[in-house]
A = this chain, B = another copy of it.
Amino acid sequence: MSAEPGEPVDTSTVIDSEQFRSIFRQHPAGVAVITAQSKGRNVGFPATSVISVSAEPPLVAFSINTTVSSWPAVEAADRLVINFLAEGQQEISTRFATSGIDRFAAGGWHPLPSGEPVIDNCAGWIVGDVISRVPAGSSRLVILQARSAWRGEGRPLVYRDRGYHRLVEYEI
């Protein structure tokens, strides 16, 4: 069994984690930075697994591994902000993926009246209440009910195969 390009695989065999990662690296996703206040401190991390679940009620979900350093803040948070990054905001995505720094020190964000930090000039953000953290293997599917939102004007930043991309629309 192999996940190299063009090679079919034995459908009776169980896929291993490296083959699984190889497939998903090719799958594009918009980049979000998820922020919160946790014990009076700002926290934030990038996520490429944000999806709309339902519009009525407005529900959003993302996945997070419970072994990552941001998990305790997500586990404790009642409310999270999903900041959708815009074209050109690669530096912000990289900064929020960097360990051992104050990810908020370089600025480019402001606090909401309710305290949570939001990223300036992003493509939009959604503030949501955490309604569920569904166990799935060593990860959790975190489900939020959207409470408020802002839509920016930027086009989105896209991540695929360890690199940042922008979108080009097909001619009709």
Interface residues of A (CB under 8 A from B): 1, 3-17, 19-24, 26-30, 49-59, 61-63, 65, 84, 90, 112-114, 123-124, 126-127, 132, 134, 136-139, 141, 143, 146-153, 156, 158, 160, 163-170
- Let me know if B26 and A29 touch, CB within 8 A: no
- Let me know if B10 and A148 touch, CB within 8 A: yes
Per a CB cutoff under 8 Å, which of B5, B8, B11, B139 touches A147?
B11
- Let me know if B170 and A168 touch, CB within 8 A: no
**Cβ–Cβ < 8 Å partners of A57 in chain B:** 17, 137
**Cβ–Cβ < 8 Å partners of A49 in chain B:** 51-53
**Cβ–Cβ < 8 Å partners of A163 in chain B:** 169-170
**Cβ–Cβ < 8 Å partners of A13 in chain B:** 147-148
**Cβ–Cβ < 8 Å partners of A147 in chain B:** 11, 13-15
**Cβ–Cβ < 8 Å partners of A146 in chain B:** 15, 20
Cβ contacts A to B, 11 pairs, < 8 Å: A6-B152, A7-B151, A8-B150, A21-B52, A26-B156, A27-B156, A54-B136, A54-B138, A132-B136, A166-B168, A167-B167
Per a CB cutoff under 8 Å, which of B53, B151, B156 touches A137?
B53
Task: Give complex CA distance A59, B146 in Å.
Answer: 25
The 6 closest A-B pairs by CB, nearest first: A54-B137, A20-B58, A165-B167, A49-B51, A17-B55, A54-B139
